[in-house]
Structure 1
């Protein structure tokens, strides 16, 4: 299970699905609601599904945390984001990015 949110878009997607947990969403509805590109929504849904936060049934998806503890963490994240959005966004934006780190490591000079 993935333990982090990769972007502010993914955070917004997770919280939208969480707040509308009693409904099924189509990909197009999520694109319109968040005013995001289809690829951003697709990647976010894929990551959230792998993390055990979203289930997909054909063309529909919905929030479905894979356990009470995970649901409680998302609930706390939602509350923190409502209370201190800038703090949460800075934490997401400041998190290490594996692809970026790998790219940077390729240019690291080795000592002889």
Structure 2
């Protein structure tokens, strides 16, 4: 499905299904610059979700914002482009597997968080 590098990048930089969805929207046409309202409408998300997603994508080095606050896909390095391309292909071929890979990290975090509050071993 995904190389180890792409899986790690997906789980630690993309992090959410919303981020993946908006990344794929932006990546479809790297030359197109979007404003926030257009991305919200296209992704059927919200302002709050979009703000979080754009922060994640900016931190991951996958987008740029111009002086008019328009957003476009742009990977900071060829390696990031390769990873994003691999994830896009895998999402097109096996979307359920990609969603499962994303959600498995969230599930592990919840279990680890809950485990921190266990006082003793239950019998």
With the length of structure 1 as denominator, give the TM-score of the two structures.
0.85
Superposed CA RMSD: 2.1
SS of aligned partner of 1:62? strand
Structure 1 unaligned blocks of 5 or more? none
Alignment correspondent of 2:44: 35
The 1:105/1:90 distance shift into structure 2, 3 A limit, reads same
3-state DSSP of counterpart to 1:74: helix
- How far apart, in 2, do the equivalents of 1:101 and 1:66 lie? 34
Instruction: Determine the structure 2 residue equivalent to 1:6.
Output: 15
Does 1:76 find its partner at 2:116?
A: no
Tell me the distance in 2 between the aligned counterparts of 1:7 and 1:46. Answer: 12
| Number of aligned positions between the proteins | 110
Matched, 1:19 2:33: no
Q: Report if the CA contact (8 A) 2:13-2:56 is conserved.
A: no
Say which structure is richer in helix: 2
Partner SS, residue 4 of structure 1? helix
Gaps of 5+ in 2: 1-8
